[in-house]
Structure 1
Amino acid sequence: MKNLKFYSIAVMALFFAATELTFAQLQLPNPSPGATVSQNVGFTKISIDYSSPGVKGREIFGNLLKHGETWRAGANAPTIIEFSTAVNIGGTNVRPGKYSLFITPQQSGDWTVHLNSKGNAVYAYMKDGKIDEEALLKDNAVSFKVKPVMANDSQERLSYAISAENNKVAKVTMAWDKVRLSFMVDTQVDQKMDGFKGAF
């Protein structure tokens, strides 16, 4: 009888230990889940890796994200955009590789998009509680102005989309709340074709 009691207690202890371990290993859903989007355009693969926060009834641009303050264009970690070949953005040639994407929203007029050549987090440029714009600009591969478009409907989760357009120039669009912000990426198909021809 004693052995049976001991056996029952041991089994229960094992059960509770296993249950506790399972709960410890169980991770709750991330409030800003990770997302990836990619598109082949011409000879170039463009990929964006980001975290997708929700609106959750908040006023996003101008309140949660202050006008004039640079934002990491996502949540949790740097938003990373990657080009498999050289591209041209805003009239500037950008080498293949990974870049962190920052956005500076404005109350009126154009917003600024930054591609950081070091792939740094925006917090790497904090000074006295604010972004050191001078240090940020020093590490930019390219900065350019984009006019935001206001949509009628609010989009709950931040998302990025890449459209192949004419399969030479890609359109990258950020959508969150009622803001749609798009910029073009010239994958330089004609220049690369000319380079191939010159090789023969």
Structure 2
Amino acid sequence: MHRTLLPLLIAAGLLVFGANSVAAQDIIPPPNPASPRAITQTSFSDGTYASIHYGSPRKRDREIFGGLVPFGAVWRLGANEATEMTVTQDIQLGGMDLAAGTYAVLAIPNEETWTLIVNAGLGMWGAFSYSDEHDVLRLETPVSMTDDIHEAFTITLEANEEGSAGMLSMMWDQTSVSIPVTPVE
């Protein structure tokens, strides 16, 4: 009986002390990326689906446009990888035709207008490998200033109630840019 009881007591002791040492370890939460990936998407009544994948940096008390994002320079439209947009059918973006496909979307911000660039070059890190030779569309759009401060860079793509058209909007700090989106019938 003594031979059977001793191994049992040792096993029980290991379980108790082993459980306590595991419980005493600090749980380290996963890292919170400074610029998490985000997605916006919508569907239109004609069956067109559009999505935009982008990095969403934070303001963090910095001067954004004219500071962190210089005026007059090509910007990745977010953080990390260049923003990418996919449309399943042809659309008009700001009144200009854009064929179905997946594209990089960049911008050249200025104080009063932005130039939005849709480019066939995919897989870009930032705008470092950007080449205007692959531009599919460029359009100039006015900038609106808001009273609200948008801490996170945000892109929204929303269809109207009927689903016949929509709006692509980009907001960061007190800057907002909106471009109409219409499926081509």
Instruction: State TM-score, norm by structure 1.
Output: 0.74
Q: Distance in 2 between matches of 1:52 and 1:79?
A: 10
For the pair shown, the structure with the greater C-alpha radius of gyration is 2
Partner AA of 2:118 in structure 1: L
- Which contiguous aligned blocks of 4+ residues in structure 1 show a shift greater than 6 angstroms? 7-20
Paired residue total: 178
Distance 1:100 1:12, change over 3 A: farther
Deviation by residue 1:35-71 (Cα, 9 ceiling, x = unmatched): 1111112321111111211100000000111111111
CA RMSD between the two structures = 2.9
Q: Distance in 2 between matches of 1:101 and 1:19?
A: 48
* Shift of residue 10, structure 1, vs aligned partner: 10
Q: In the alignment, does 2:122 pair up with 1:119?
A: yes
Q: Distance in 2 between matches of 1:69 and 1:15?
A: 57
- Structure 2: 5+ residue runs without aligned partners? 1-6
Contact 1:77/1:121 (8 A) holds in 2: yes
**Could you tell me which residue of structure 2 aligns to residue 153 of structure 1?**
148
- Structure 1: 5+ residue runs without aligned partners? 127-134, 193-200
Q: In the alignment, does 2:170 pair up with 1:186?
A: no
Distance 1:151 1:98, change over 3 A: same
Contact 2:105/2:119 (8 A) holds in 1: yes
* Shift of residue 32, structure 1, vs aligned partner: 1.2
Q: Distance in 2 between matches of 1:99 and 1:170?
A: 19
Deviation by residue 1:105-125 (Cα, 9 ceiling, x = unmatched): 11x332100011122426564
Deviation by residue 1:1-60 (Cα, 9 ceiling, x = unmatched): xx888x97899789879998x75xx53111112211111123211111112111000000
Match of 2:56 among 28, 52, 58: 52
Higher helix share: 1
Provide the secondary structure at the position in 1 that maps to 2:85. Answer: strand
Contact 1:71/1:122 (8 A) holds in 2: no
**Could you tell me which residue of structure 1 aligns to residue 68 of structure 2?**
64
Contact 1:102/1:122 (8 A) holds in 2: no
Q: Quick check: 117-126 or 27-36, which moved more?
A: 117-126
Contact 2:154/2:171 (8 A) holds in 1: yes
Contact 2:57/2:152 (8 A) holds in 1: yes
